[in-house]
Chains A and B, each alone.
Chain A
Amino acid sequence: MAFAIQFVIDVLSLGGAYALMALGLVIIYGILRLVNFAYGELIMVAGYTMYLSSGSGLPWLVMATLAVGMAVLFGILTDYAAFRPVRAKSVTAVLITSFAFSNLLQNAALLFISPRPRNVPLPEIFSQTISIGGAITPVRNLITIAASIVLLAGVAFLMRKTTLGIAMRAAATNFTMARMLGVPANLIISSAFALSGFLAGVVGILWIGRIGTVVPGVGLEPLLVAFIATVIGGMRSLPGAVVGGFLLALIDTTLNYTLSQDLLKFRDAFTFSLVILILLWRPQGLIKGPASGQRT
């Protein structure tokens, strides 16, 4: 029983974080049909903001807000630096500019801060553990679950009930048509980047809360997770991204518990091979997105 609870909490907390990461990526992809390779660096930005503000004596929540704010800012900056100038030209061009922008941010952190890991301030509660039905689990896992429930509900509300959300979904379904009906393209794209940055910022704090330190390459793993989750879930569907995130967490956690020590080193290889198998079965991903319109 204790094991079952432990397993469920592990899957839900990891899955919640994965789902948020994937959601941040899909929001952009849904509208622009373009992958943001610099997405992981938004998480890095959140981490370094926490590190840089750690000496200031501000309350932790203020620092966390600041970190999320910086992630939002850099999200919008990504749009201006890497997407807007080349967006209309070719898919490959944007993939490459966002890849270059990601490299730029990483190496800037390397050059101006340090290649070595830096400690990130964390509140007491992140390192405490709690016992539920005999299973001992870190409180931060429960925080992650709570945060992901709140955020997923928030994003669902935003997308379904508000004008901005409806406009974004309209843009994702048929961008040209949406523009003709008076949806301002640049504003919608910038807000999508802001939302993506916001999710990355929150995930960044939760993710770095697990590790405790930030390095220039910290964004790689979340980026990969988001990639794989979105490919499994179906590249263009928001619910698909969430399903993909939880499914990936389930695969990862199961492998964690079942693989022997020798094979555990190859866990990533197993996970990605499973993904290839899923794609063999359903090349479109598990959940189909809205009917495809022309890329603009």
Chain B
Amino acid sequence: MKHSYLTAVILIAVIAAVAVGSQVLGIRLYDRIATNLLISLVLVVGLQTFMGNSGLLSFAHIGFMGLGAYTSAVLTIPAQMKGMALPDLYGFMKAVEISPLLAMFAAGLVAAVVAAVVAYPLMRLSDAAAVITSFALLVVLYTVMNNWSAFTNGPRTLFGLPKTTELPVAAIVAAIVVVVALVFKESRTGKLLRASREDEVAAAALGANIPHLRWRAFILAAFIAGIGGALWGHFITSFAPKAFYLKETFLIITMLVIGGANTVTGAVAGTILVTVAYEGLRGTEGALNATAAAAGQVVGLTEIVLALAMIAVMIVKPGGLFPNREIGHILNRTRRKKEIATP
């Protein structure tokens, strides 16, 4: 079997296992964690399509997730609730109310269009300048979300989204996104982009239009981020702009980097690993807060441990757990080696 098909099958099986496993256990808490995990998976795989193929670190991803979440919110909050949830909304938008599925698609489109417009000049930059401007872009998106009260209710919490994201929905979207990421990776654009990641000068000499290739990947990443944001919005149902800022950026970058940014397998593995660690640490933090109430609140412990883990992974395995090869590729190779060894 061609190794990318094998990879797709294995990764989808993992997603299905997460979804079904949680259903079988039937514990409400695990249901929530599993849905959260699958939504993170959508975001992390989305980030991988840009970061993994182009080799540029992007901080703006969470900003596009925020755009998606707010777009979907404006389109789906029931008309009679809009007066309360979004008092300053422009008149013509007040009556709009479309189905969450359609709104999710619209959320992806809005994020992609915004990305297409703002990112075109940025894709000419390489290395540190590209990273810094993507960081600036995150700040711009955050500032806009925080202040454009008409659409976002300002820094206050926006509420009233219909809760439509259930575990199966999240699992289906995650599976589709994984397939899209794998297809993109093996497409002409993806291959040329990966060539530019390895050697910018050589790829340009072969005729690769690098800024344009990066631009396409960035739009795809933003589209997926927008969809992820809508998914998350309909899961959590009320949120404020500060949900789309540095803390979350740190979390998804940790997930991608620990797993290995260059492979989709790495993105999936990192998401699962970090989510499990994160929930475990959160639980510990909660337990500590419950017992040692006199010593004050324990905050930030989770992030400290994650930061240490990230530095350790970077020192030991700078490419992450799956630095180069997808899982299907690795399995195919070991099988072929065995065949050669035992004729």
Contact = CB atoms under 8 A, between A and B. Distances in A.
B314 A279 contact: no
Classify the interface of chain A: helix, strand, loop or mixed.
helix
A276 B307 contact: no
Contact of B139 (A93, A272, A276): A272
Contact of B310 (A29, A96, A273): A96
Contacts of B257: 92, 96
Interface in A246-294: 265-266, 268-269, 272-273, 275-277, 279-280, 283, 285
Classify the interface of chain B: helix, strand, loop or mixed.
helix
A196 to B, nearest CB: 15
B102 interface: no
Interface residues of B, number: 43
A9 interface: no
A215 to B, nearest CB: 13
B300 A275 contact: no
B315 A85 contact: yes
B133 A279 contact: yes
A279 B125 contact: yes
B140 A269 contact: yes
Contacts of A99: 250, 253
Given A103-B303, A266-B147, A272 B137 contact: yes
Nearest to A273: B140
A131 B137 CA distance: 39
A268 B147 CA distance: 11
Interface string B248-289: 001001100100010000000000000000000000000000
Contact of A276 (B121, B250, B303): B121
A276 B308 contact: no
A272 B132 CA distance: 11
A231 B134 CA distance: 12
A107 interface: yes
B41 interface: no
A195 B146 CA distance: 36
B140 A29 contact: no
A276 B310 contact: no
A206 interface: no
Interface stretch (A108-116, A139-147, A159-167, A169-177): A108-116
Interface residues of A, number: 47
B136 A96 contact: no
Contact of A103 (B57, B129, B131, B307): B307
Interface string B87-124: 00000000000000000000000000000001001101
Contacts of A227: 132, 135-136
Interface in A118-151: none
B304 interface: yes
Contact of A86 (B143, B308, B318): B318
A272 B140 contact: yes
B136 A224 contact: yes
A77 to B, nearest CB: 13
B57 A92 contact: yes
B314 A96 contact: yes
B135 A224 contact: yes
Given A29-B128, A231-B132, A90 B318 contact: yes
A203 to B, nearest CB: 18
Interface of A: 29, 33-35, 81-82, 85-86, 89-93, 95-97, 99-101, 103-104, 106-108, 110-111, 115, 220, 224, 227-228, 230-231, 235, 265-266, 268-269, 272-273, 275-277, 279-280, 283, 285
Given A93-B318, A276-B122, 4 more contacts: A90-B318, A111-B298, A230-B132, A231-B129
